[in-house]
Amino acid sequence: MTSTSNPATRFRRILLKLSGEALLGNQDSGIDPEILYRVAGEALEVQRSGVQVAIVIGGGNLFRGAGLAEKGMDRVRGDQMGMLATVMNSLAMQDAVEKLGGSCRVLTSLGIDQVGERYSAHQARRYLEAGDIVICAAGTGNPFFTTDTAASLRAVELQCDLLLKATKVDGIYDADPKKNPAAKRFDRLSFGTAIQSQLGVMDLTAMVMCRDNKLPLGVFDMFAPGALAAIVAGEPVGTLVEV
């Protein structure tokens, strides 16, 4: 087995949580190939620099269980559709990584053998050490959770040094910047402050999971080219949350 670990880099293994909704780009539904390929290329660049890269992708561009339930669907069934949406996004990302010359595995938390191998933390770690990008699809496999929570859970299980949330805003603000243009961005803050002030960018279950396991969390703009490589190189991009 070849290891991708490189002592010269700041992080050995990261988990990158990608916004499903951001994959929409300027489209009304589905996946914008330009965004998909750019993000795949950036993840691959970081992986080739010697950092092991696991990925969790949201499903907000396709379905969210809560939204389906509001329209009358059974919540559990709606959440299952949401989890399957993350599988579709994961397959698209796997395809893009492979088209760019990388090696990528999709491990799913729901049993869909023909589509992806069933998730196991030990197998995921083996693939990461062998130089594959590993996409953890279908969230936690359970309804009533989000892919933010799945990302924090997988990051802890996979012994990642850093969880990075790539989203539609460029960090954590003292209020939702999409609703309040006067909101101020934090460069750094503690989990205590983020949790107490209920700063909505990441759900509370995910924040608590990171805090309790001393896993630093970075939040940055998924549309900013080069941001991922810069963060991994130790540059202060977006917001860093620490214990």
Ligand X SMILES: Nc1ncnc2c1ncn2[C@@H]1O[C@H](COP(=O)(O)OP(=O)(O)OP(=O)(O)O)[C@@H](O)[C@H]1O
Ligand Y SMILES: O=c1ccn([C@@H]2O[C@H](COP(=O)(O)O)[C@@H](O)[C@H]2O)c(=O)[nH]1
Binding partner of residue 140 among ligand X, ligand Y, none, CB cut-off 5 to 8 Å per kind: ligand Y
Query: CA-CA distance, 113 to 102, in Å (whole number)?
Result: 22
CB 96 within 8 A of CB 40: yes
Contacts with ligand Y by CB under 6 A lie at 20, 58-60, 64-66, 78-79, 82-83, 85-86, 139-140, 142-143, 145-148, 150
User: Are 89 and 63 contacting, i.e. CB atoms less than 8 angstroms apart?
Assistant: no
Q: Nearer Cβ to ligand Y, position 65 or 216?
A: 65
Q: How far is the CB of 43 from ligand Y (least distance, A)?
A: 18
90 near ligand X, rule: CB under 6 A:
no
Q: Is 58 in the site for ligand X (CB under 6 A)?
A: yes
Which 3 state secondary structure label does DSSP give 80? helix
- How many Cα atoms are found within 13 Å in the side-chain-facing hemisphere of 70? 5
Ramachandran class of 101: left when φ > 0, alpha when ψ lies in -120 to 50, beta otherwise: left
Closest separation in Å from C-beta 221 to ligand X? 10
Which does residue 25 touch among ligand Y, ligand X, none (CB within 5 to 8 A, set by kind)?
none
Among ligand Y, ligand X, none, residue 143 binds (CB under 5-8 Å by kind): ligand Y
User: 133-137 and 104-108 as β-strands: parallel, antiparallel, unpaired?
Assistant: parallel
Q: Considering Cα of 204, then 209, then 210, then 214, what sign does the dihedral take?
A: positive
Examine residue 152 and tell whether it contacts ligand X (CB under 6 A): no
- Contacts with ligand X, residue ranges (CB under 6 A): 19-22, 58, 60, 147, 167-169, 172-173, 175-178, 199-201
Which residues does the annotation place in the binding site for ATP? 17-20, 60, 64, 167, 173, 176
